[in-house]
Structure 1
């Protein structure tokens, strides 16, 4: 199962875990129970059991009341889903930085050359040595507004082993000023980073 994160609509705090999207709404599972099932009430069988034993004159009513009480207690542990701001729902890139922070798309890290990179997910161009040609790829990549001056490249860059070189400095949701995908940035580098709202599979 893929790992996602998103900001709670209610509290504004980040939630990491299982995310389901329905229409234009996103929800994160915030309780450990995954598949509770409400058992069917068989009033005839349960009422007969009490009546046959002579436990009460109102066996059917008593059993129905007991059943409702039992369900209330059962539903106290029902899975709780927290609604998220859908535009903040992002994928984990299955990487972490040098100190061990887990990285998601939308995160911004600093490299040893003191450049900022934004992690993006989507379509980007990558060079294929076998075909000796640039080809469209889909996945995680990094973009930076200042990369051309130092590295003489305009294209998005692969993440590589971020565990060896990256230091997380924030994300574009909490700190929009860190975004490396701006109108003034190279259009080719930013093209694949402008992705639609993420909709994980339901």
Structure 2
């Protein structure tokens, strides 16, 4: 199965771009690291905040994904159309346990999805890999997704203009999980019953939710 075949069947008309929560009728928007600022008074990074964020997203992931679930790891990479030589996208290779999976990654090119000046000069390359959580270094992946705006490791690499967007698509449970940066993450589902326990257990982290 390819990712778009799955999406057309289960999440019709949803675009794999940030703010999936706003596109779908059933989901939860979590605020991470509440009341802990990213910087200390001396402008140094507040590592305590990031440790809290890492713990929160790990808990959320583990509530949504089991090691044997079938998932798609989907990555958007944004680039200038005229840029011929792109550095190797460092989202999959560093975080996949079995390197044979690298040969199974699919890629498709789409128009640049955001409204900016001269948007027609850019494009989005979307990579997808069908795998299981047990095939991935999940903890490091989650941290890298959170570290977008700061000089922390692990970090995604090889991107051209914007930091890659990474989505975890659980096709066993029909759930999509997206960390947009250290400030928050989004979960959407076909059926709110799938994510209700998450809402009830971690209500203090919830920014908003929808259950149509």
Q: What TM-score do you get using the length of structure 2 for normalisation?
A: 0.25
The structure that is strand-richer by fraction is 1
Larger Rg: 1
If asked which structure has higher relative contact order (CA below 8 Å, sep 6+), I would say 2
The structure that is helix-richer by fraction is 2
